[in-house]
Structures are given as C-alpha cells and as structure tokens.
C-alpha cells in the first residue's frame, strides 16, 4: 500500500477501480484512478483482484493496462480461481492469449487413455488400463479420463474407469489450490455430465461418491442447473444437495425457479419438497428479495398461490427499505394478481420506501388498470389520508395529494373513488399538511376546471395566507378566496362530520346509513 493512502481509502479506491472496469470505463479513466492510488495487484474483495474483474467482463484493454501496471497474472481468489480460469470459463480467447503471453506455461498433457475416452473407444481404453495406464492421470488443464467420459456421456466407459478406481471427486487428486491454478480446472465430472444433459452418467457418478454440493466460481452445483430442469435438480437433491445454497448473484435455486414463472413451477415443487426455504432472503445486491418477490415479478398467479400455500410471507419485516411484495404486485398492473396478495394478508399501509405505501405507489404510477388497482387497495383497508414522517424529518404526502401531484390529467373516476373512501380535500400548503392540495391548484385550474369545482365542493381547512400566495387566474382565485373566507354551511359541516365518524369510510358504510338515498352520493363526495 502506498504511503499516504490509508487502509479504508485504499479499499475504496480498489472498489472504485473494479466498478469502473465492470462498467467499461475508458482506459484513461482507469489510468487516472491508478495514478490516484488504486493498485493493479491489491484485492478488491474475496481475493478478487482488478485483473479478475477485467477478465470476467472480457475487457481486453483494461487487462492489458493492469498487466503493465504489475498485476499478478496468477493471482487467485478465495475459491482458488485465477484470471485465466475466468477467461476460459467465458470463452474469452483473445484475452486468454494475452494472459498466456504473460509467462503462464500451458502444455498438452493428454495421455493415450485421455484420447481413448474422448473418442469413446472402449476396447482401446480397456487395453490401456489392463497394461497399467494411470486411470487418474491429469492433463495440464486438470482433466482426467473420467472428465472426458462425463462430458461426452460415455456411460459404459465411465463404469470401466470406476472399476479401475477412477477418482470421482477430482478436487481430491492434488492440492486443490494448486490445481485451480490451471486453465480449466473448474468443473468436476458431475458438472460436465449435468451440463451436457447426461442424466444416467450424473446418477452413476453420484452413486459412486460425487459431491452434489461442489462449489464453483458461479456458485454451488445445484445453482448451476437450469432452473427449469426439474429432473437434474431432483437428482442432486436426492443425493444430499443443499436446496438453500446461494449462487454468486446472491440467489437461491428456488428464487431462480420463481423468476421463470410457470416454466419454473416443477423445479420449485421439487425444491420445496426437499426443504427449500420459501422465505429465504436474497443477498443485498438483489434487494433482499424473497422467492415470492420473484414470483410476483414473473406475473404467474399460479406460482404466487403455490408459494403462499407453502408458507411464503406476503409482508416484509419492519426496517425493510426496498419495494415490498405488495409494491411489486401493484406495479404488475394485474388486479387478479394483486387480490391474491391482499387475500393472503398483505398490509396496504406499510411504508418501506420513500415512495410510501402501496396506495401511494398506485397513485403516482402510470397504470393501465389504475382505477381497479386503487379500488382493490382501498377495499382491503388502504388509508387514503395516510401520512408519514421519515427518520430524517421528511414528510410523505397523503396518497390523495400524491395522486393530484403526479398526473397532468386526473381521472375523475379515481378522484371520486378516493373521496368515497374518505379522502380529505385539505386546502392548505403541503409544507404545512401532508394532505395539502394548494400546490396542485394552478395546474388543475388550467387543465381541468371540473376537477377544480370538485376540490372547492369538498374543500376544508382553508389556509388563507397560503391561498393569497397561489397564482391562478382571477376568476378561479375569486372562487377560492370566497370559499376560504366564509364559514362552511351547516350542510357541509354535517357532511364532513359524518364522513369522519364513519372512518375508515367506505361506500358500504354509507349505504347502510338511515338517511335519504339522494344524500348518500353527497356524503361520498358528489355535489348535490
């Protein structure tokens, strides 16, 4: 570490360098950052150096710069992967050549038995074994003959090799850290069999001691199986695979299956049958989402119902500061999907993000089914006047005020819907009251005077000083000042009083009141 750069600052510089590499920042930017103190040969996290990131993203110019600046071409991460492993895994041929030119020696150590197994020449392989060929010989890539049989699906030849004591777990052959310095030693025979769809070969390897929980750069064995491939998932689980492992992206196998929607249902059923946690939480880089989050994002109502039936929680804990399951359900713009979540007990008034509650989110979003979505939320108890103060002191407008604020053109149906569920038309500044509507008046006067009339008809708690500062045409200003200057009529006072007494207000409550039928729409917000 260079003089004058503390440990914390160096860590920050290394992280910034990695982020710029991942985002393909220009070489000049990278060079400037290195001049500022970032190092080509200091790890970023978990043993990964900047060169690892450049190779993973196939950023040739960045890798060349790092090598010039002294990057260790053989640096290994905490799993034992070198930059060359990542190039080989990603097929980055040009970058592999660059690394090999930096004094990595790779030879072709294939034995005759390797060739026989690769070509599936059973008799030739048998003859070689009888004559003493080393069944566990490794080439300079780290592959044994068993690797090649597994990759090609040569089941009969695999059985022959195991009769001659072929080692199934390749990592046990030599020191694992040294082995992982070689180009392609990233996959066990089991991984190769699964990757190439050789089910019987994979089963045979597991029956003979293959580890179903082997870890690779991208994650454990189970996380590398395609999330729609229920057969291989079931196979690994039946031999002791852990259903709750996390891949490098921070997801469990169940989460990956949920992202596939209906296509991942069969895999999800298998995973849950073997103990997958339906309430597992993804890593922070995935916003701490649960499998239900991903099922909602997939849009599969069948999948959502299935997870809930098996204990998936629809509410997030206190302190969760990311979009909730209910928030995502609102954004899917699907009333049937939303009803499933609400029926399961989702709390429509929970506030997890700075957007607010689910009703806030519905109010400020552009949704094809906005009226139906908001109606559902209100039916299930969403508070149209909800206000919230954040820890740092910021005040969240009410959903009613948020709706007026967020749209250039208001849907009169939505306005009346919100009024019918108790929305308060508070004619004050939003700085003084979270329900305040005065800041919305100028735009509404110009675009929708009919909505302005509704505001005046339902207006209450007029703030005269703030009204004087509102810039609207004189004719509109005169009506507003008149309403603010005179006491509300007895009829209006009774109307507002009854609406508050009915809280939480809803049309069904108004329908049961012993008042003349022509007054019931008036109580709901319609003018007489």
Domain extent, residue 34, equals 7-100
User: Per the domain annotation, does 152 fall within a domain?
Assistant: yes
C-alpha 302/C-alpha 309 separation (Å) is 11
Shared domain check, 132 and 81: no
Domain containing 507 — which CATH number? 1.10.750
Note the pTM of the prediction, 2 decimals.
Answer: 0.76
The set of residues, in sequence order, having a beta carbon less than 8 Å from that of 408 and lying 6+ positions away, is 443, 447
Tell me whether residue 274 is in a domain.
no
> What local confidence, expressed as pLDDT, does residue 298 receive?
97
For the four alpha carbons of 361, 365, 369 and 370, in that order, the dihedral sign comes to positive
- Asked if residue 83 is part of any domain, the answer here is yes
72 token code pair: 């260790």
pLDDT of residue 504: 92
Structural domain includes residue 96: yes
Q: Indicate whether 90 and 172 sit together in one domain.
A: no
pLDDT tens per residue, the chain (528 residues)?
444 567 888 899 999 999 999 999 998 899 889 888 899 999 999 999 999 999 999 999 999 999 988 899 888 888 877 887 777 667 677 887 788 777 654 334 567 788 788 889 898 888 888 878 899 988 766 788 999 999 999 999 999 999 999 999 865 544 545 544 443 345 899 999 999 999 999 999 999 999 999 988 888 999 999 999 999 999 999 999 999 999 999 999 999 999 999 999 999 999 999 999 999 999 999 999 999 999 999 999 999 999 999 999 999 999 999 999 999 999 999 999 999 999 999 999 999 988 899 999 999 999 999 999 999 999 999 999 998 887 777 788 999 999 999 999 999 999 999 999 999 999 999 989 999 999 999 899 989 999 999 999 999 999 999 998 988 898 899 999 999 999 999 999 999 999 999 999 999 999 999 999 999 999 999 987
Under 8 Å CB-to-CB from 268, ≥6 apart: which residues?
A: 254, 257, 258, 276, 291, 303, 306, 307
Cβ–Cβ under 8 Å, residues 355 and 322: no
Q: Are residues 68 and 12 both part of a single domain?
A: yes
- Are residue 78 and residue 169 in the same domain, yes or no? no
**What is the number of structural domains in the chain?**
3
Q: Which of 39, 71, 100 is the last residue of a domain?
A: 100
Are 58 and 118 found together in one domain?
Answer: no
| Cross-strand partners of 425 | 459
User: Looking at residue 182, what is its pLDDT?
Assistant: 44
Q: How far apart are CA 470 and CA 277, in angstroms?
A: 55
Give pLDDT, residue 164: 95
CATH number at residue 113: 1.25.40.20
Domain annotation covers residue 144: yes
Identify the pLDDT of residue 109: 55
- Residues 207 and 114 reside in one and the same domain: yes
| Cα separation, 289 vs 250, whole angstroms | 10
Query: Is the omega angle on the peptide bond into residue 379 within 30 degrees of 0, that is, cis?
Result: no
Residue 337 is assigned to a structural domain of this protein:
no
Q: Does 118 lie in the same domain as 54?
A: no
Q: Which of 163, 195, 211 is the last residue in one of the domains?
A: 211
At 141 the pLDDT is: 67
Q: Are residues 78 and 132 in the same domain?
A: no
Instruction: With respect to residue 170, please indicate whether it lies within any of the assigned structural domains.
Output: yes
User: Cα angle at 216 between 97 and 212, to 5 degrees?
Assistant: 140
Its sign, for the CA torsion 312, 315, 321, 322, is positive
Q: Do 154 and 189 share a domain, yes or no?
A: yes
pLDDT of residue 202: 96
Assigned domain for 46 exists: yes
Assess whether 114 and 181 both reside in one domain. yes
d(CA 515, CA 412): 26
Give the separation between CA 341 and CA 297, rounded to whole angstroms.
Answer: 13
Whether residues 23 and 69 share a domain: the answer is yes
H-only helix segments in 164-300: 176-179, 189-195, 199-207, 221-224, 230-238, 253-259, 265-273, 291-298
Which of 211, 244, 263 finishes a domain? 211
What's the confidence (pLDDT) of residue 3?
45
> Are 142 and 59 within one domain?
no
């Amino acid at each position: 570490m260079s003089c004058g750069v503390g440990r914390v600052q160096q860590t920050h510089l290394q992280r910034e360098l990695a982020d710029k590499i991942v985002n393909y920042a220009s070489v000049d930017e990278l060079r400037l950052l290195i001049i500022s103190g970032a190092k080509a040969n200091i790890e970023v996290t978990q043993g990964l150096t900047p060169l690892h990131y450049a190779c993973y993203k196939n950023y040739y110019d960045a890798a060349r710069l790092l090598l010039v600046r002294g990057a260790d071409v053989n640096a290994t991460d905490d799993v034992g992967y070198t930059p060359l492993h990542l190039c080989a895994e990603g097929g980055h041929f040009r970058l592999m050549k660059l690394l090999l030119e930096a004094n990595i020696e790779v030879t072709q150590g294939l034995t005759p038995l390797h060739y026989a197994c690769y070509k599936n020449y059973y008799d030739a392989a048998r003859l070689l074994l009888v004559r003493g060929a080393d069944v566990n010989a490794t080439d300079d890539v780290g592959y044994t003959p068993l690797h090649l049989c597994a990759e090609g699906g040569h089941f009969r030849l695999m059985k022959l090799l195991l009769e001659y004591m072929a080692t199934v777990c390749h990592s046990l052959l030599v020191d694992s850290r040294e082995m992982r310095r070689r180009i392609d030693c990233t996959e066990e025979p089991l991984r190769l069999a699964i990757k190439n769809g050789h089910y019987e070969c994979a089963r045979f390897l597991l029956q003979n001691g293959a580890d179903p929980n082997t870890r690779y750069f991208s994650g454990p064995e189970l996380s590398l199986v395609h999330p729609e491939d229920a057969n291989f998932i079931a196979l690994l689980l039946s031999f002791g695979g852990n259903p709750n492992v996390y891949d490098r992206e921070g997801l469990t196998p169940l989460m990956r299956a949920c992202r596939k929607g209906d296509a991942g249902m069969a895999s999800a059923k298998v995973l849950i049958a073997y103990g997958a946690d339906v309430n597992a939480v993804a890593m922070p880089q995935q916003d701490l989402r649960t499998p239900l989050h991903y099922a909602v994002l997939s849009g599969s109502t069948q999948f959502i119902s299935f997870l809930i039936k098996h204990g998936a929680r629809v509410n997030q804990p206190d302190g969760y500061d990311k979009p909730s399951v209910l928030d995502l359900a609102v954004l899917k713009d699907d009333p049937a999907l939303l009803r499933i979540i609400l029926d399961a007990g989702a709390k429509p008034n929970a506030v997890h993000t700075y957007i607010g509650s689910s009703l806030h989110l519905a109010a400020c979003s552009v949704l094809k089914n906005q009226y139906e979505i908001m109606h559902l939320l209100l039916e299930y108890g969403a508070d149209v006047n909800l206000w919230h103060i954040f820890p740092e002191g910021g005040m969240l407008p009410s959903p009613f005020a948020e709706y007026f604020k967020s749209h250039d053109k208001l849907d009169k149906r939505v306005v009346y819907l919100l009024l019918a569920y108790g929305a308060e038309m508070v004619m004050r500044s939003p700085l003084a009251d979270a329900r305040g509507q005065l800041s919305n008046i100028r735009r509404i006067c110009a675009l929708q005077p009919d909505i302005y009339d509704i505001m005046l008809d339902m207006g209450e708690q007029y703030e005269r000083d703030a009204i004087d500062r509102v810039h609207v045409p004189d004719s509109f200003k005169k009506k507003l000042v008149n309403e603010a200057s005179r006491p509300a009529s007895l009829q209006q006072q009774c109307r507002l009083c009854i609406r508050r007494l009915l809280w939480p207000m809803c049309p069904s409550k108004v329908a049961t009141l012993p008042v003349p039928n022509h007054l019931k729409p008036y109580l709901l917000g319609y003018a007489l």
